[in-house]
Amino acid sequence: MTDSLAADAHAASSVTAEEEILRLAREEPELGQVAVAERLRQAGLRISPSGVRYLWQKHGLETAVKRLQALVEHRGGDAEGLTETQRRHLERGRLSERLARGDAAGGPAEGDQEPLERRRLILDAAARLFSAEGYDRTSIRDIARNVGLLPGSVYHYFPSKRELFLAVHREGFERTLERVKAAATSSDDPWECLERACEVHIEGIVGGSSIDRLAGSNLAISRNDELLQEIRPHRADYEAVFRTLIDALPLRAGTDRSLLRLFLLGGMNWIYLWYREGRRSPHDIAAAMVAMLRHGVQP
């Protein structure tokens, strides 16, 4: 650790800041160091993101997976209290650690690894890279390197990058579609159903797994017409849920419900560009967007 980081951590009124950082690590383990620093700033504690990371490292909490593991241990080894997203994140982290230990220690040969575990790691890595770099700038070699495999191992599960991309989207749509359908029938109030469905959609884009975020964000980012045609049926099934939700709303006569649906989905899909962790929650954003649709913004 550099002297500047030590001074930074100390200058934050170290005992109070450290306790608050450890509390957030337990209560919201997926928050990044920038979001934690912002939370502390709002509470009157000044510490930089690098200072947060130093204190995380001091307690062995420098990754979200380690913080989730600490949270489970704090609860006596019970993972039932974790959210679905947190459980997936923890599972992926544990699988990655097992694979890394096997490679480093000369463990089981590739053929002895569980196929479903290997496939899951590949899908998660592909989703992260497709989201960060785009389809055209991501290669099978990049994906293989990300999970510590040879490119041939990836091709064993997915015959091409195109098939891998489609598999990521298919899984993301199916998972998110299931959650949105549940939200869409969770109340007798059509406006409340719409708000809950929007919250699920936004959570998938900004707070879900890489697969959820890729499926939920702007699909046209690849600019690949052939891929977009392949994705279209999955997208149509998903949009049909929102079409039903919009059709159920009591709206002013003459309202273009189709345009309203596209307006809402387009606005939500752009959230991944401007969202910043620690400011507004998916619930807050969904509530505000639906309220503006329902009541307008004119005083």
Q: At the fourth CATH level, which superfamily is domain 84-163? A: Homeodomain-like (1.10.10.60)
The count of C-alpha atoms lying within 13 angstroms of the C-alpha of 205, restricted to the half-sphere facing its C-beta, is: 27
Write the DSSP string, 33-72: HHHHHHHHHHTT----HHHHHHHHHHTT--SHHHHHHHHH
Q: At the fourth CATH level, which superfamily is domain 172-295? A: Tetracycline Repressor, domain 2 (1.10.357.10)
Query: Any idea how long the chain is?
Result: 299
Please give the chain's pLDDT, 299 residues, in tens: 444 444 444 444 445 788 888 888 888 887 777 788 888 888 888 888 788 888 888 888 877 778 888 877 777 766 666 776 677 666 666 665 555 444 433 334 444 445 667 888 888 889 888 877 888 888 999 998 888 888 888 888 888 888 898 888 888 888 888 888 899 898 999 999 999 999 988 888 887 677 777 776 644 344 566 767 777 777 788 889 999 999 999 999 999 999 999 999 888 888 878 888 778 888 999 999 999 999 988 88
CB atoms within 10 A of CB 284: 12
SS (H, E, C) 125-166: HHHHHHHHHCCCCCCHHHHHHHCCCCHHHHHHHCCCHHHHHH
b (16+ CB within 10 A) / e for 190-226:
bbebbbbbbbbbbbbbbbbbbbbbbbbbebeebebee
Listed in sequence order, the residues at least 6 apart from 190 whose beta carbon sits closer than 8 Å to its beta carbon are: 245, 248, 249, 250
